[in-house]
A and B are shown apart, each in its own frame.
Chain A
């Protein structure tokens, strides 16, 4: 097995790719997928430190992150469907009705 810093650096790279996806993609579904990638990067750090300190608390946190992510995806995709019915597009640049 690799030292913990390897896992941390992998997770940092995954998180940065997720941030880049949120910033540059305009398809709202791909933005959501990038969010999932960032959740996953955080989960990897939780599990790695859980292994490092032989404590189960990190793995329990991953369990809660997963359930909250599932709830977030259900609500988010329902919002996408509602927005698509209203605007016939899921381009994030067009969701600007509240812009001053």
Chain B
């Protein structure tokens, strides 16, 4: 039990440190790489929670595909640094206060109001969260949402192609004065 909590603390430190690093790094490429580290550590936490399928999906979809897309766009635009990132000081202080209030509020709710069971989580049954179980649930109870998801992805693909096409008749109609 103690080793489990120590391991959780170790991973939590990595998660929080990489998130803070992403927040304060000037270079967007470093931010993206720190976010990959963050996603990988959260995947390790998923494994400790007995969700190996979700952990693998996290690695392949988030840390793999989505972050590669981010890095690709950063390098294509050459936009890793803004010329003048020094944001308004008043805005920063206000944002910091709001975030701290939010953090305190939610922590107070979880710790004092939530009445969470204090027992440590037990190890799952061996087939809980296995790809077979996930697939059976996904294709029986959640078949319609699954199909809708595939439609959403199709719309996203078409939308991305339409938005990034350079010779775009749609854009010319919207902004006739610009070209």
A–B complex contacts, Cβ < 8 Å, 25 sampled: A9-B107, A12-B106, A13-B16, A16-B106, A17-B23, A23-B91, A24-B23, A29-B32, A30-B22, A30-B31, A33-B22, A33-B31, A33-B70, A40-B38, A47-B54, A51-B124, A56-B134, A56-B137, A59-B51, A60-B142, A74-B157, A77-B73, A78-B159, A82-B164, A86-B178
Contact A12 B103 (CB under 8 A): yes
Main SS at interface, chain A: helix
Question: Which of A5, A43, A48, A80 contacts B114 (CB under 8 A)?
Answer: A5
Contacts of A77 in B (CB 8 A): 69-70, 73, 160
Chain A contributes a number of interface residues (CB within 8 A of B) equal to 70
Contact in complex: A78, B138 (CB < 8 Å) = no
B11 → chain A closest CB, angstroms:
9
Contact check, A52 vs B110: say whether CB atoms are below 8 A apart: no
Cβ contact within 8 Å between B49 and A60? no
A89 to B107, CA, bound (A): 38
The answer to whether B103 touches A52 (Cβ under 8 A) is no
A1 within 8 A of B: yes
Q: Which residues of B contact A30 (CB under 8 A)?
A: 22, 28, 31
A40's closest neighbor in chain B, by CB? B42
User: Is B120 touching A3 in the complex (CB atoms < 8 A)?
Assistant: yes
Given contacts A3-B116, A23-B95, A77-B73, A48 and B153 within 8 Å (CB-CB): no
Closest chain-A Cβ to B115's Cβ sits at a distance in Å of 10
- Which residues 105-158 in B have Cβ within 8 Å of A in the complex? 106-107, 110-111, 114, 116-125, 128-129, 133-134, 137-138, 141-142, 145, 149, 152-153, 155-157
- 9 cross-chain pairs, A with B, having the tightest CB-CB distances, nearest first: A23-B95, A71-B156, A78-B163, A2-B8, A78-B160, A16-B103, A20-B99, A17-B19, A5-B116
